[in-house]
Structure 1
Amino acid sequence: MKMNALGLPIEESKFLVKELNVLLSNFQVYYQNLRGLHWNIKGKRFFDLHVKFEEFYNDSQIKIDLIAERVLTLGGTPLHTFDDYIKNSKLEIGKDISKDVMAVQLIIDSLSHLLKIERTISNLSGEIDDEGTNAMMSDFISEQEKTIWMLNAWMGEEN
């Protein structure tokens, strides 16, 4: 089995890069959705949600950079065109959403989808002892699970 400079199997690392690029694409769509929600939110909860959505998109921007840098670390090339992002993302596009409940539900749904991708990547990286990717996914997962819990609490739902 051929190994890369990190001591990870080359072929499995290539597959991991592909999955990280899927995550990157989904995060880019999530980020853009958050920007739109931030700009377009209306109503009595505007001040709270406007700030919260900015917090979320700033956090997403950091995660996007971390994912792209991990792709590079593993020897791949991060996707970087809107065309690639749309082709590789399964997230709903949040167009013209200005109502608070619809906006928060879109974020919950998006984070739930991101968690599925991250768990897949975590399993794959665990199989090849890629602690760098595994640790990053673990951090993302625990943070996003808590965010979903908080957003569901905001929605008044049990979960």
Structure 2
Amino acid sequence: MSTALIKEMNVQVSTWSVMYTKLHNYHWYVKGHQFFTLHTKFEELYDEATAHMDEIAERILTLGGDPVATMKEHLEQSVVEEAAGNEKSDKMVSTIVSDFDKIMASLKKGMTEAAKEDDDMTEDLLNAIYQSIEKHQWMLNAFLGEENN
């Protein structure tokens, strides 16, 4: 198995770890008239982030690689940044939409590496995650009242 594929998959493990923490932050600190809607949505998203992180890490192990597993590594390798801690609710949502753009670009890199390796299983796993994020992004943009590009 190529180190390039494992590297891209570890970027995803790190990214989902950071997203998990960011989404928890948003879940705990969201305020305002959309509290009930966003509080529930952020919980759904961090539960999903946990599943993605675990599935990708287990796939890395299956392929004989080593998933990154420290916060230091996660913060260094993630394509998204942790929450600032003072975001208002609409900013939380728009940040997630922007983060999903970055994650989808990273997933495409992973799918490209998996295709080079003829690793259909990894490519399928990353593609399924991509499709899920794409749908969440559409819904979050609708929440913000924005058109998809």
Band the TM-score falls in, shorter-chain normalisation: over 0.9
Kindly indicate whether the alpha-carbon contact (under 8 Å) linking 2:97 and 2:137 is maintained by their aligned counterparts in 1. Answer: yes
Partners of 1:133 and 1:112 lie apart in 2 by: 20
- Alignment RMSD, CA only? 1.0
Q: In structure 2, what is the equivalent of residue 139 of structure 1?
A: 128
- Check whether the contact 2:75–2:81 (CA below 8 A) recurs between aligned residues: no
Letter in 2 for 1:157: E
1:101, distance to aligned residue in structure 2 (A): 0.5
**Partner amino acid, structure 1, of 2:32:** G
Q: Which residues of structure 1 form unaligned runs of 5+?
A: 1-9
Q: Deviations over 1:24-78 (max 9, x none)?
A: 1111111110000000000011011101100000011011100100110111111
The answer on 1:108 being equivalent to 2:121 is: no
Q: Please name the residue that 2:71 is paired with.
A: 82
What is the total number of aligned residue pairs between the two structures?
148
Listed one character per residue, the Cα deviations across residues 13-32 of structure 1 (whole Å, up to 9, x for unaligned) are x2211111111111111111
Give the counterpart of 2:116 among 124, 127, 139: 127
Structure 1 or 2, whichever has the larger Rg, is 1
Alignment partner for residue 19 of structure 2, among 19, 30, 34? 30
TM-score by length of 1: 0.89
Return the alpha-carbon distance in structure 2 between the equivalents of residues 74 and 109 of structure 1. 31
How far the C-alpha of 1:105 sits from its partner, in A, is 0.9
**1:47 matches 2:36:** yes
Q: Which amino acid aligns with 2:138?
A: W
What residue in structure 2 maps to residue 19 of structure 1?
A: 8
Map residues 52-71 of structure 1 onto 2, 5 A cutoff.
52-71=41-60
* Unpaired runs of at least 5, structure 2: none
Q: CA deviation at 1:98?
A: 4.5
- The CA deviation at 1:141 is 0.9
Q: Between the two proteins, what is the percent identity of the paired residues?
A: 36
Moved over 2 A (4+): none
